[in-house]
Amino acid sequence: MSEALRTDLYQLTMMQAYWRSRHNPEATFDYFVRKIPAGSYLLTAGLDYVLDYIENLRFEDDDIQYLRTQDFNEEFLGFLRDFRFTGDILAMPEGSIAFPLEPIIRVTAPIMEAQLVETFILNKMNFSTLIATKAARVVYAARGRAIAEFGLRRAQGDAHLEATRATYIGGCASTSNVLAGKVFGIPVSGTMAHSFVTSFEHEIDAFRAYADTFPSKCFLLIDTYNTIEGAKKAAVVGKELEKRGEKLQGVRLDSGDLSELSKQVRMILDDAGLAYVKIVASGDLNEWKIDELMKKGAKIDMFGVGTELVTGRPTPALDGIYKLSDVLERGRHAPKMKLSEEIVKATLPGKKLVWRTIQEERFIKDIIALDDEKIDNAVPLLEQVVKKGKPVHDSPSLAQIRQTAAANLSKLSDEYKKLDGAPVYSVEFSPGLVALRERLVEKIRREEIGSKI
């Protein structure tokens, strides 16, 4: 199915206006984020979707037919029939650490092409990056305890696959989402629902039925009636499994004072000789609640996190933007920028790269510089991923992206991972970029704001 119409109407109306006025210069756009909703960093995700979209971008016959009903010019529709993306894209690989104002993706193409891909890039990168970053925060709060993603039932419709993929990049160990397991190869995990327990006459009957069915991977939900009594019954079933040469894998707490209950349940299991049985906790958890549980010394080995994780709560969307920074006019580059009464909404002009200083395996600072500037003792973060419309790098596997993310996160000092009150990471502008911005601001004020019509 064609993805060409997964765009905003104004992208297509602007394209027709560009086409009619024969105005289609090479243009460069930057995708970046002005403000991070929580914490000090972003973990990038979603690029793989963008590359697949770019490679397969076509207007099919039914797309053209629909646009005809929207009163587009017939000759313009003929142009769209042969449309292909022919530009270049630089990007931070998935699993990169990014900070405010840094170009995460740089698109250079004829302006009609660069304009069309804007909406898709924003749609995929904003959501996946938001969820991957949220997952990294949750994983950090758990201090080495595994996080299982349980969010399918609360995910935003078909976004569940993208959300689960992003949580895995962010460090989650498994998912309850079976389709995501099949599509992406992510380990799947789960226990049982309260309805399973209550459907039996007695709680222990439910436990025994489940243990008989899954003797080698049995997890029991023990808080349906009373967590402590449930733990005692789970211990009975655990000993019964031992007699059959099997082991109870774990018990799950889903309500109540999880810290205190986990300590009592741990004692019950240990006293029964079941020290190997894991305790899983779930129930509207997020990074702050998990952090508090860890501070209280909760005896929890794994956390199940659902709604808060796959929806990015409390932030419903990442405010990533896509702005024009350069146009090739009569063979010369003309840097572009947006001014605004709100200083934060002004943009950075020119074709740019991002450089990072790393010392002793630690990220020290980043520098946003013009394309022709070389920053000593720093590494460039943008890599060419599309050249003349074709992907030019080998797409890493999801497991490799996850490893990249973990390696990058390990190089970010813990102070920047604080859930609240994290300091601002140093992002500098190069001398060339500062000078260009000052010249362009003066030019705009003179020619656009102060000039007579």
How confident is the model over 229-283, as pLDDT tens digits? 999 999 999 999 999 999 999 999 999 999 999 999 999 999 999 999 999 999 9
- The answer to whether position 197 is within a domain reads yes
Give me the helices (H) in 220-350, please: 227-243, 258-271, 287-295, 307-310
Amino acid (one-letter) located at 16: Q
Q: In this structure, are 237 and 100 located in the same domain?
A: no
Structure confidence by residue, pLDDT tens digits, 9-55: 999 999 999 999 999 999 999 999 999 989 999 999 999 999 999 99
Residues 366, 379, single domain; the answer is: yes
pLDDT at 340 over 90: no
Q: Are residues 150 and 90 in the same domain?
A: no
Residue 442 has pLDDT above 80, yes or no: yes
Same domain, 16 and 35: yes
Same domain, 204 and 252: yes
Structural tokens at position 383: 């890599």
Which DSSP helix (H) or strand (E) runs through 369?
A: strand 362-370
Cα 180 versus chain centre, distance: 15
pLDDT of residue 450: 66
- Give yes or no for a contact between 85 and 57, defined as CB atoms under 8 angstroms apart: yes
139 in the same domain as 112: no
pLDDT band at 288 (very low <50, low <70, confident <90, very high): very high
Whichever domain contains 294, its CATH number is: 3.20.20.70
Q: Final residue of a domain: which of 264, 291, 310?
A: 310
CA neighbours closer than 13 Å in the CB half-sphere of residue 94: 32
Work out the average pLDDT over 298-308.
97
Q: 40 lies in which domain range?
A: 9-128+338-449
User: Total domain count for the chain?
Assistant: 2
Spatial separation of the C-alpha atoms in residues 320 and 314, rounded to whole Å: 17
Non-local CB neighbours of 345 within 8 Å, separated by 6+ positions: 34, 338
In a domain, 177, yes or no: yes
Q: Please indicate, yes or no, whether residues 146 and 104 belong to a single structural domain of this protein.
A: no
Q: What is the pTM of this model?
A: 0.96
Please say if the pLDDT value at position 343 is more than 70: no
pLDDT band of residue 448 (cuts 50, 70, 90) is confident
Which of 247, 251, 217 minimizes the C-alpha distance to 234? 251
Q: What is the CATH number of the domain that holds 118?
A: 3.20.140.10
Q: Does residue 331 sit within a domain?
A: no
Same domain, 350 and 419: yes
Same domain, 63 and 155: no
User: Per the domain annotation, does 249 fall within a domain?
Assistant: yes
On whether residue 322 sits in a domain, the answer given is no
Is-contact 26 110, C-beta < 8 A? yes
